[in-house]
């Protein structure tokens, strides 16, 4: 007798719920998380015996037009080495999540080499894992390895990308009509300051009175602040901007929209600004990753001592490169830039040559002194060179 | 429309239909979510059943996978309480991230300040208290603004997040900065003696015990004490509570303090067990994920433990989806979104499915 009710939900309620769920699915699907073709190279999970499995971990997406893309392209180059199989994970935060990712790559995928590519993975995460898995090699981009302090299975590699920034500075100095350059930077740490200073020194070889306005956004990925900084630079009459943030995309696109010139970083952003892109300082991880891949296949390792613990180099060693020049780069600029590049390739050009002062008037280098590229002082940099407008705040 | 809903007095089998409904609905929601997500995977070119298998294996398939899941779940249990407790009083607090940051910062300041002057156990205790007090005061601020000035607590607690993060960055780039640590601007490292260790035979840190213990305590506080009863009454009808003479102001401040201190404790655990120093990595979405956990668990502290484990499992499977199925890194977020949307949707079905409805006894 009891009335058997149909589900007590109005049709409208059901429709609303279903629509919300599908719309959500569709929106996430369409908004930039469609799979990229780049990861198809290793084709499935079947790995033949004897393959060396190499794990790559990125802190952000692999197609960010920046830091992670540069490493991801390098990883693809390593995957092309016969005998290497790579496994990748993107968007892994610098927390216990990266510990779990490394462990899972080692225990489940059988990785014998790990590249945690973000600078912040090193301490404590990578060091903890290296201590726990002494038979696995860990390579870190950043040059922080210290002999005797860090485990034997840890290595680091890093490039003197400020050489490319110096060349970009020369081109910026030639191109700027107002004599004012802009630099959107993330954090005042030595690497970033070194790029700012080298860029400015390059520009000053062309125009000694040129200035570089620096804005620190405070973090590696702050798209809104990066756009604001670029816009305010354009408003101030700055006509060439460059940056050191994780993804230069926003800065380059904003500059293009405002009709000013831009110089890239990490990877080639030329396609984002076909008119105003001058050049850029790019990593060339492909050559170093291919080199290391060949070493692994040949059975060499850090522990055996046949791979060096610290690999460093600049333009001459293919650790970095300069983006192809854009259409706005004059012939005079190209000539000077190419001459500087040749200087680096020959090893006779030194960026930090006395006499140099910082922007507070303190002497950094006396007349006749210089800091060679390998000088450890450069890795502790806590000053901005004369001609830079801005302060590091501490 | 209302016939069978009002028959509470003459009910047969209500005792087991209720809990059964509370189990059946989330399970059905999970199933629906899996079907939708399977469609997404198929669109992305992966075999849905292979993906399901991988998720299960990576989240709950082995002891190692369980550890991965539990490590990720531990902070979420605590940050979820920051939303769940005030919610019982009718407040929507979303300042979890800020409270966690302040808690971590407070704990490190005290930990570094005490150094090796007292025994490590005392330092740990002092750090936990410092974390709870700083997180608690932070959210109490939002509660006070609400009670005394009528400021919307959702907006103020959200904005407090940004202030907390900016304050953290200021501290680690200025007064607290350890110049010798070059990886990123950070405070000095805590003395290894005060690090929170791992549970014997596992790599799970003690934060999991803290999380479960605090959730159980919170459950008793809310369901079994006069304080909890007063809070729930106020949440039900604030005017009635005032007329009944309940100290609404004190309740608001107290429950905000308790919520914030749970998130603050999560911050202390994160710095003492995982990061060993305080820096921007403390801001890694544990707080925002906690809001999700709180809403899905319907602000029930015991359910929070289970929901946090579910989310931990989903997050733990993120890596394998990329590595074994070539799915993009955002896939795990899509899955997480679909699961929680379905569970929240199922919330609207409580009391509406005929099979679970309390039937009147005929004749």
CA-based nearest residue in chain A for residue B321: A89
Percent of chain B with pLDDT over 90: 72
Distance from CA of B244 to the nearest CA of A (A): 36
Of A34, A39, A61, the CB nearest to B326: A39
CB A173 within 8 A of CB A203: yes
A1, pLDDT greater than 50: no
Number of Cβ within a 10 Å radius of residue B10: 10
Q: Three-state DSSP class for B297? A: coil
Q: Do B322 and A29 touch (CB under 8 A)?
A: no
A306, pLDDT greater than 50: yes
Q: Three-state DSSP class for A371? A: strand
Q: Do A28 and B352 touch (CB under 8 A)?
A: no
Q: Measure the CA–CA gap between A124 and A135, rounded to whole angstroms.
A: 19
* Chain CA centroid to CA A128, Å: 24
Q: Do B354 and A6 touch (CB under 8 A)?
A: yes
Of B323, B345, B362, the CB nearest to A87: B323
Minimal CA–CA distance to B301: which of B237, B221, B208?
Answer: B221
Note the residue count of chain A: 394
Of A28, A94, A142, the CB nearest to B337: A28
B336, pLDDT greater than 80: yes
Task: Give chain B's count of helices (H) and strands (E).
Answer: 14, 0
Residue B173 has a pLDDT of 85
A191, pLDDT greater than 60: yes
Enumerate residues 6+ apart whose C-beta is below 8 A from A251.
A184, A226, A227, A229, A230, A241, A242, A243, A245, A262
Torsion sign, CA atoms A366, A371, A372, A376: positive
**In the numeric block, which tokens belong to residue B36?**
């939708």
Taking a contact as any Cβ pair under 8 Å apart, which residues of chain A between 164 and 193 contact chain B? 187-190
Q: Three-state DSSP class for B196? A: coil
Q: Which CATH architecture has domain B77-325?
A: Orthogonal Bundle (1.10)
Q: Do A61 and B338 touch (CB under 8 A)?
A: no
Buried b (16+ CB within 10 A) or exposed e, A302-318: bbeeebebebebbbebb
Q: DSSP secondary-structure letter at B265?
A: H
Of A2, A29, A36, the CB nearest to B40: A29
Q: Any bridge partners for residue A242, and if so which?
A: A183
Mean pLDDT of the B216-238 span? 94
Task: Look up the pTM and report it.
Answer: 0.83
Q: Do A187 and B357 touch (CB under 8 A)?
A: no
Q: Do A189 and B184 touch (CB under 8 A)?
A: yes
- H helices present in B61-173, as ranges: 63-88, 96-114, 120-149, 153-173
**B138-183 pLDDT, tens digit each:** 999 999 999 999 999 999 999 999 999 999 999 998 899 888 887 7
Mean pLDDT of the A262-270 span? 94
Enumerate residues 6+ apart whose C-beta is below 8 A from B186.
B172, B177, B178, B277, B278, B279
Percent of chain A with pLDDT over 70: 87
Number of Cβ within a 10 Å radius of residue B9: 7
Buried b (16+ CB within 10 A) or exposed e, B56-78: eebbbeeebbbbbbbbbbbbbbb
Residue B185 has a pLDDT of 84
Q: Give one DSSP letter per residue of A142-204, joined into a string.
A: T----TTTS-TTEEEEEE-THHHHHHHHHHHHHH-SSSEEEEEES---HHHHHHHHHHHHHHH
Q: Do B362 and A122 touch (CB under 8 A)?
A: no
What distance, in Å, lies between the first and last C-alpha atoms of chain A? Answer: 81
Per-residue confidence band for B343, with pLDDT thresholds at 50, 70 and 90: confident
CA-based nearest residue in chain B for residue A101: B319
Of A32, A94, A109, the CB nearest to B323: A109
Residue A354 has a pLDDT of 84
Instruction: Reply yes or no: is the peptide bond before residue A246 cis, omega within 30 of 0.
Output: no
Of A24, A35, A45, the CB nearest to B324: A45
Minimal CA–CA distance to B50: which of B345, B350, B325?
Answer: B325
How many CB pairs below 8 A link A and B? 149
Residue A178 has a pLDDT of 96
Minimal CA–CA distance to B173: which of B183, B186, B163, B188?
Answer: B186
**In the numeric block, which tokens belong to residue A363?**
């002497």
CB B72 within 8 A of CB B239: no
A248, pLDDT greater than 60: yes
Per-residue confidence band for A8, with pLDDT thresholds at 50, 70 and 90: low
Per-residue confidence band for A148, with pLDDT thresholds at 50, 70 and 90: confident
Percent of chain B with pLDDT over 70: 94
Pairing label, strands A363-365, A154-159: unpaired
Phi and psi, residue B298, nearest 5°: 55, 35
Minimal CA–CA distance to A308: which of A130, A157, A186, A179?
Answer: A157
B158: burial class by Cβ within 10 Å (0-12, 13-18, 19+)? middle
CA distances from A12 to A9, A131, B257 (A): 8, 59, 41
* Chain CA centroid to CA A309, Å: 21
Residue B178 has a pLDDT of 87
Q: Do A2 and B360 touch (CB under 8 A)?
A: yes
Distance from CA of B345 to the nearest CA of A (A): 6
Q: Mean pLDDT over all residues of chain B?
A: 90
Distance from CA of B324 to the nearest CA of A (A): 6
**B240-252 pLDDT, tens digit each:** 999 999 999 999 9
Helix or strand holding residue A344 (H, E): helix A331-346
**A42-95 pLDDT, tens digit each:** 333 334 467 999 999 999 999 888 899 999 999 999 999 999 999 999 999 999
- Domain positions in chain A are 50-159+285-316, 162-282+325-389
**B127-146 pLDDT, tens digit each:** 999 999 999 999 999 999 99
Residue A24 forms contact with B (CB below 8 Å): yes
- Domain positions in chain B are 1-46+326-363, 77-325
Q: Three-state DSSP class for A389? A: strand
Q: Mean pLDDT over all residues of chain A?
A: 87
Residue B359 has a pLDDT of 60
Topology agreement, domain A50-159+285-316 and domain A162-282+325-389: yes
Of B71, B319, B345, the CB nearest to A21: B345
Taking a contact as any Cβ pair under 8 Å apart, which residues of chain A between 75 and 94 contact chain B? 87-94
Q: Measure the CA–CA gap between A346 and B335, rounded to whole angstroms.
A: 53
**B23-48 pLDDT, tens digit each:** 888 889 989 999 999 999 999 989 99
Q: Do B354 and A4 touch (CB under 8 A)?
A: yes
**Angle formed at CA B138 by CA B274 and CA B71, multiple of 5 degrees:** 25
Mean pLDDT of the B51-62 span? 92
Mean pLDDT of the B251-279 span? 95
Q: What is the ipTM score, two decimals?
A: 0.85
Enumerate residues 6+ apart whose C-beta is below 8 A from A155.
A137, A138, A139, A140, A145, A302, A307, A308, A309, A310, A311
A159, pLDDT greater than 60: yes
Per-residue confidence band for A147, with pLDDT thresholds at 50, 70 and 90: confident
Minimal CA–CA distance to B19: which of B27, B9, B31?
Answer: B27
**In the numeric block, which tokens belong to residue A97?**
């999540």
In CATH terms, A50-159+285-316 corresponds, of 1.20.1560.10, 1.10.150.300, 3.40.50.2300, 3.40.50.300, to 3.40.50.2300
Residue B360 has a pLDDT of 57
Q: Do B183 and A28 touch (CB under 8 A)?
A: no
Taking a contact as any Cβ pair under 8 Å apart, which residues of chain A between 241 and 280 contact chain B? none
Q: Do B334 and A25 touch (CB under 8 A)?
A: yes
Hunting for tokens 């990877």 — which residue is that? Answer: A267
Instruction: Give me the CATH topology for the region A162-282+325-389.
Output: Rossmann fold (3.40.50)
**A285-303 pLDDT, tens digit each:** 999 999 999 999 999 999 9
Mean pLDDT of the A142-169 span? 90
**A25-46 pLDDT, tens digit each:** 444 444 433 333 333 333 333 3
């Amino acid at each position: 007798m009891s009335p058997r009710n149909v589900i007590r939900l109005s049709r409208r309620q059901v429709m609303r719920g279903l629509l919300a769920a599908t719309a959500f699915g569709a929106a996430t699907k369409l908004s930039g998380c469609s799979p990229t073709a780049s990861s198809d190279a290793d084709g499935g999970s079947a790995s033949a015996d004897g393959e060396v499995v190499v794990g790559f971990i990125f802190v952000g997406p692999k197609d960010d037009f920046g830091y992670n893309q540069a490493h991801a392209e390098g990883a693809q180059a390593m995957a092309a080495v016969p005998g290497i199989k790579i496994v990748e994970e993107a968007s892994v935060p610098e927390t216990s999540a990266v510990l779990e990712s490394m462990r899972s790559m080692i225990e489940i995928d059988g990785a014998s080499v790990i590249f945690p590519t973000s600078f912040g993975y090193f301490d404590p995460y990578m060091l903890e894992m290296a201590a726990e898995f002494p038979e696995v090699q860990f390579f870190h981009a950043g040059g922080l390895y210290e002999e005797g302090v860090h485990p034997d299975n840890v290595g680091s590699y890093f490039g003197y990308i400020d050489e490319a920034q110096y060349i970009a500075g020369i081109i910026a100095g030639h191109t700027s009509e107002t004599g004012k350059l802009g630099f959107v930077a993330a954090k005042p740490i030595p690497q970033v300051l070194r790029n700012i200073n080298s860029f400015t020194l390059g520009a000053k070889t062309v125009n000694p009175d040129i200035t570089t306005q620096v804005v620190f956004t405070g973090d590696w990925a702050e798209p809104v602040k990066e756009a604001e900084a670029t816009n305010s630079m354009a408003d101030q009459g700055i006509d060439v901007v460059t940056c050191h943030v994780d993804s230069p995309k926003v800065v380059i696109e904003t500059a293009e929209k405002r009709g000013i010139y831009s110089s890239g970083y990490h990877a080639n952003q030329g396609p984002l600004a076909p008119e105003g892109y001058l050049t850029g300082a790019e990593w060339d991880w492909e050559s170093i990753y291919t080199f290391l891949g060949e070493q692994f296949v040949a059975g060499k390792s850090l522990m055996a001592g046949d791979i060096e613990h610290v690999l460093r180099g600049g333009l001459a060693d293919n650790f970095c490169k300069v983006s192809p020049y854009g259409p706005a780069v004059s012939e005079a600029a190209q000539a000077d830039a190419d001459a500087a590049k040749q200087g680096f390739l020959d090893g006779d050009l030194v960026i930090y040559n006395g006499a140099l002062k910082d922007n507070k008037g303190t002497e950094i280098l006396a007349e006749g002194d210089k800091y060679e590229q390998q000088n450890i002082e450069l890795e502790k940099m806590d000053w901005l060179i004369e001609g830079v407008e801005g302060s590091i705040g501490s | 429309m209302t016939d069978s809903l009002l028959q509470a007095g003459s009910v047969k089998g209500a005792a087991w239909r209720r809990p059964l409904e509370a189990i059946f609905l989330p399970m059905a929601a999970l199933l629906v979510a899996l079907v939708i997500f399977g469609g997404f995977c198929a669109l992305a070119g992966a075999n849905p059943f292979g993906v399901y298998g991988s998720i299960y294996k990576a989240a709950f398939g082995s002891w190692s996978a369980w550890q991965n899941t539990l490590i990720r779940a531990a902070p979420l249990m605590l940050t979820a309480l920051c939303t769940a407790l005030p919610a019982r009083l009718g407040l929507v607090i979303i300042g979890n991230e800020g409270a966690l940051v302040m808690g971590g910062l407070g704990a490190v300041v005290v930990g570094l300040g005490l150094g090796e002057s007292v025994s490590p156990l005392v330092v740990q205790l002092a750090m936990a208290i410092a974390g709870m007090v700083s997180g608690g005061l932070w959210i109490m601020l939002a509660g006070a603004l609400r009670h005394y000035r009528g400021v919307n607590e959702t907006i103020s607690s959200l904005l407090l997040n940004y202030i907390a993060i900016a304050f953290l960055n200021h501290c680690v780039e200025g007064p607290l900065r350890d110049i010798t640590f070059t990886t990123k601007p950070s405070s000095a490292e805590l003395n290894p003696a005060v690090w929170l260790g791992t549970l014997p035979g596992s790599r799970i840190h003690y934060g999991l015990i803290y999380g479960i213990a605090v959730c159980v305590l919170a459950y008793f506080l809310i369901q079994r004490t006069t304080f909890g009863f007063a809070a729930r009454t106020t949440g039900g009808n604030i005017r009635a509570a005032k007329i009944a003479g309940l100290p609404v102001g004190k309740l608001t401040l107290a429950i905000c303090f308790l919520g914030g201190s749970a998130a603050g404790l999560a911050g202390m655990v994160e710095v003492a067990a995982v990061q060993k120093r305080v820096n921007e990595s403390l801001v890694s979405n544990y707080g925002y994920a906690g809001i999700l956990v709180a809403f899905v668990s319907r602000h029930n502290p015991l359910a929070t433990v289970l929901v946090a484990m579910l989310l931990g499992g989903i997050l733990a499977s993120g890596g394998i989806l990329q590595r074994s199925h070539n799915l993009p890194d955002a896939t795990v977020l899509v899955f997480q979104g679909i699961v929680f949307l379905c569970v929240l949707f199922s919330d609207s079905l409580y009391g509406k499915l005929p099979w679970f409805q309390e039937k009147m006894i005929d004749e």
